[in-house]
Amino acid sequence: MKTLDELLQEGVNGRRVLVRADLNVPLDGKNITDDGRIRAVAPTVKALAEAGARVVVCSHLGRPKGAPDPAFSLAPVAKRLGEVLGREVAFATDTVGTDAETKAVAQGDGDVLLLENLRFNKGETSKDDTERAEFAGQLAAFGDLYVDDAFGAVHRKHASVYDVAKLLPHYAGWLIAKEVEVLSKLTGKPEQPYVVILGGAKVSDKLAVIDNLLDKVDTLIVGGGMMFTFLAAQGHEVGSSLLEKDQVEVCKSYLARAAELGVELLLPVDTVTAAEFAADAEPLTVSVDAIPAERMGLDIGPASAKLFAERIAGAETVFWNGPMGVFEFPDYAAGTKTVAQALVDSDAFSVVGGGDSAAAVRTLGLPEDGFGHISTGGGASLEYLEGKTLPGLDALEK
Ligand code: 3PG
Ligand code: MG
């Protein structure tokens, strides 16, 4: 895989560089609520611009259905990117249409242009190879070279991530290089004890990663909504908590395999419950043996949080993906906060795997530099740890 460092050595002055970024940030209307992904890719864009490249940045935002939809416009992102870069960022109101073409042609050396949302075009995510290739061809017309730095999207076989690399000389940006360097440590032989903490709503999203990591870890901690399917597998009643009935047997098999391997699979001992899914629902902490039938668990309880924090304190390597509870509700945020704080306090090499857990870290006001690495990829970091071939990385290797 050729990297940005090599490209900068070759020199980019006056050359047109198409950069795929993952600027898929959370928005509240037109306000960006977490600009982590913008800041993460900025060094790559800045280095190219400072070296005199004519930079055309492209990204998706959300999941529009292959046609323009103002709710998913990248316009607010262009503005923020400009602030972060400390230089003007032009914005094209289409992706490969006349506005994009006109603005690209007008670019001078060192100028940055952001194209409108890739997913306003059917070809971007099409399952049809020809349709995707056609759109990739239109995108490739914007660059003499292609730099992929959209780590959060490398698990997608999309035109801008996969097909375009076949058409232009291609390089990995600094963010992708860094993410791969860090995550490859977690799939190799990380320093032990190695503790993995998984949370989030659905156990079905995490099965493959559990499967791939179970024989590599010393302790696998399970919290969040997915814990109830594991608790049910242990024979507990879980009230009206999230439960994936069709996954109970799989969870049983993981509990059995962990026991065989001598791996500790650690589940919560208590949970903070609510009568309904609402921020103002009265919290009640109960033991996992005594979850009332009409209540749902929305967080791990304090005894569990303490237990989890102790395991984290004793670790040399920690990977965390998925909140421990509904951290958006202040009464149900303590578990996530305790776990996150334990990572900050530990001397372990700690990696936070993207999406919700990265947002939780920032929402809860924890210092980003307290973690070894905060991945910008949710699905991408999980699929990497599942040991899958990721189309975007595969394309850069070829
Ligand atoms: C993400 O947020 O996980 C990435 O930006 C990829 O987005 P997607 O899941 O909509 O493909
Ligand atoms: Mg730390």
How close is the Cα of 157 to the center of ligand 1, in Å? Answer: 12
The pTM of the full predicted model, rounded to 2 decimals, is 0.90
CATH of the domain at 277: 3.40.50.1260
Answer whether residue 278 shows pLDDT above 80: yes
How close is the Cα of 376 to the center of ligand 2, in Å? Answer: 18
Answer whether residue 354 shows pLDDT above 80: no
**Ligand 1 pocket check: which of 20, 37, 60, 375 to mutate, most ligand atoms within 8 Å of Cβ?**
60
Q: Which range marks the domain in which residue 350 is found?
A: 181-386
Does 199 lie in the same domain as 268?
Answer: yes
Note whether residue 27 is domain-resident.
yes
Does 349 lie in the same domain as 253?
Answer: yes
HEC string of the chain? CCEHHHHHHHCCCCCEEEEECCCCCCEECCEECCCHHHHHHHHHHHHHHHCCCEEEEECCCCCCCCCCCHHHCCHHHHHHHHHHHCCCEEECCCCCCHHHHHHHHCCCCCCEEECCCHHHCHHHHCCCHHHHHHHHHHHHCCCCEEEECCHHHCCCCCCCCCHHHHCCCEEECHHHHHHHHHHHHHHCCCCCCEEEEECCCCHHHCHHHHHHHCCCCCEEEECCCCHHHHHHHCCCCCCCCCCCHHHHHHHHHHHHHHHHHCCEEECCCEEEEECCCCCCCCCEEEECCCCCCCCEEEEECHHHHHHHHHHHHCCCEEEEECCCCCCCCHHHCHHHHHHHHHHHHCCCEEEECCHHHHHHHHHCCCCHHHCCEECCCCHHHHHHHCCCCCHHHHHHHC
Does 298 lie in the same domain as 340?
Answer: yes
Does 303 lie in the same domain as 166?
Answer: no
Given this model, what pLDDT does residue 205 score? 86
Does 302 lie in the same domain as 342?
Answer: yes
Ligand nearest to the CA of residue 21, numbered in listed order? 1
Does 104 lie in the same domain as 50?
Answer: yes
How does pLDDT run across 149-180, given as a tens digit for each residue?
999 999 999 999 999 999 999 999 999 999 99
Taking residues 254-260, what's their average pLDDT? 97
Note whether residue 218 is domain-resident.
yes
Number of domains comprising the chain = 2
Note whether residue 393 is domain-resident.
no
Taking residues 278-307, what's their average pLDDT? 98
Does 151 lie in the same domain as 168?
Answer: yes
| 54 classed as catalytic | no
Does 195 lie in the same domain as 167?
Answer: no
Does 211 lie in the same domain as 106?
Answer: no
Q: 172, 190, 205 — which closes off a domain?
A: 172
Does 273 lie in the same domain as 155?
Answer: no
Does 92 lie in the same domain as 18?
Answer: yes
